[in-house]
Structure 1
Amino acid sequence: MRLICLADTHNEHQNIPIPEGDIVIHAGDCTDGGTINETKKFLEWFSTLPHKTKILVPGNHDFYFEKPENLGNIPENIHLLVDQEIIINGIKFWGSPVTPGMENWAFNRERGKKIREHWNLIPDDTDILITHTPPYGILDEIDSGLSLGCEELTQVLPLVQPKLHLFGHVHNASGSTKQNGIKYFNLSILDERMRIMHSPVIIDF
Structure 2
Amino acid sequence: MKSYILATLLTAAATVNGIPMPMPTPPGIPSTSSAKTQLAALTVKAYVDDGTYDRDLFPTWNTIEGSCNTREYVLKRDGTNVVVNSACTATSGSWKSPFDGATWTQASDVDIDHMVPLKNAWVNGAKSWTTSKRSQFANDISSPELWAVTDNVNQAKGDKSPDAWKPPLTSFYCTYAKSWVQVKYKWALSITSAEKTALTSMLNTC
Q: Which has the higher helix share?
A: 2
TM-score surpassing 0.5? no
TM superposition score normalised by structure 2: 0.30
Q: Which has the higher strand share?
A: 1
Greater RCO structure (CA 8 Å; 6+ sep): 2
Larger Rg over CA atoms: 2
